[in-house]
Amino acid sequence: MATKRDYYEVLGVDKNASPEEVKKAYRKMAIKHHPDKNPDDPTAEDKFKEAAEAYDVLSDPQKKARYDQFGHQGMNGAGGGGQSMDDIFSQFGDIFGDDSPFGSFFGRGGQQQGRRVRRGSDLRIKLKLNLQEIANGVEKKIKVKRHVSCTTCGGNGSKNGTAVTTCNTCNGSGQVRKVVNTMLGQMVSTSTCPTCNGEGKMVTDRCDTCFGEGRLLQEDVIPIKIPAGVAEGIQLSVTGKGNVPPRGGVAGDLLIVVEEEEDDNLKRDGNNVVFDLHVNFVDATLGTSVEVPTIDGRARITLEPGTQGGKILRLKGKGIKELNGYGRGDQLIHINIWTPKTLSSEERSILERLRNSPNFHPKPGKNEKGFFDKMKDFFH
C-alpha cells in the first residue's frame, strides 16, 4: 500500500497558509491535473483526487486540527479512502463557480452539464473503547441504521427502475438559467430547477418498495479498524457508509467519535499509563515482590529494601502505542506507603519500642530526591 503524501506538500502550501491561500492552491492543482485536460496521462486522475482529498481536509478547521496533530491516521484510521470522482466534481461549483469550464461537470468527459451529483448526509456515532483496545488497536463490527439504495428500482424511485422521464423545465440539467439586462450588460444567474428540485428527471410511476424515495432505512453491520493510540474525541471516518440521498447520488460518510472508558486500575497520561501501588510499611522496609496490573495482563515487580514513598518505577514499553508511529509509552508505578490508621495494643507496643530506634529517624541523603526533582524525572 502506497504511503500518502503530506497534504501541505500536495497543495504546495505551508501550515500557516490562510483558507484563501489553500483554496487558491487547490484550484491551481485541480486545473493542472484535471483528467479532461490530460487524456494521455494515466496519473492525472490520481493526482486530481489527491489534491481534492488534501483540500477537503485543509479547508475544514476541525479536520485540519486533527491532521496537524495525528497525521493521516487521525483522519481515516478506520479504513476510509479518498473521495470518488463524482463526489469531487459535485463540489466544483463551490470552488470554481457555476460558469467555470469545470464547475458544471458531474462526471468524466463533459457529461451532462449543470447537474450535480448529490451527496447523502453523514452519520455520526460514538464508540466507547477500553484502555486495552486503545493501546493495541482493535477491529470492531458496528451496527448502524442508515439509508441504503433501494434494490427494486436501483435507487431512482420509479417502478421497476424505468418509469422516469427527463424534466421538461431544465431538459435534464437540474438547473435553470436566467438572463437579466442591467446597466453593466447581461447578467446570467443559475438556480436549482423548481420542477425537479435539481434531479433532472421526473418519476412517472413510483416504486412499490420504497414509494418513490429511492432508498430504504435498514440496519447495517460495518466492520472498522481502530488504530492503536487513538484518544478521547478523535473522529475517524469510513467513506461511503453514511446515508444515500433520495433517488440517486453518492452516500455520505460514517463518522466515528472515540470515547475512552475509564479503567479500574490504570490511568492514561499521554502514551504512558500510571498505576498507584500501595505497600505497607513492613514490605517497603524489608523489600518484597508484588504483582501489578498492566495493559497486557499482570506483571511481577520487585521492591528493594528501604523503598521510599513517592518512588516511581518504570516498565519500559508497557504503555500505549503512538498513533501514526512506531513507538510505545511506558507504565509508571507510583509507590505509596500505606500508614495504618488503627492499631492493636500489641502493634502499638511494638512501634513504641521502635520509635526511638536510630534507624527509624529520617536521614535523607544527598541522593534522596525531593518532590520537585521526582516530578522532573516523571515528565522527562
Distance CA 114, CA 97 (A): 11
Ligand-binding site membership of 207 (annotated): yes
148's grid cell: 441504503
The label of the residue with cell 481515516 reads 76
Nearest alpha carbon to residue 158 among 201, 194, 121, 107: 201
CA-based torsion, 365, 369, 371, 373: positive or negative: positive
288's grid cell: 518484597
Distance CA 57, CA 258 (A): 19
Distance CA 136, CA 230 (A): 10
Ligand-binding site membership of 26 (annotated): no
Are the C-beta atoms of 296 and 331 separated by less than 8 Å? no
Nearest alpha carbon to residue 317 among 301, 294, 298: 294
Ligand-binding site membership of 196 (annotated): yes
Distance CA 224, CA 80 (A): 9
Are the C-beta atoms of 233 and 257 separated by less than 8 Å? yes
Ligand-binding site membership of 150 (annotated): yes
372's grid cell: 520537585
Nearest alpha carbon to residue 216 among 247, 237, 241: 247
Ligand-binding site membership of 153 (annotated): yes
Residues in the chain: 380
Ligand-binding site membership of 83 (annotated): no
Are the C-beta atoms of 275 and 286 separated by less than 8 Å? no
Q: What residue numbers does the annotated binding site cover? A: 150, 153, 167, 170, 193, 196, 207, 210
Q: What residue numbers does the annotated binding site for Zn(2+) cover? A: 150, 153, 167, 170, 193, 196, 207, 210
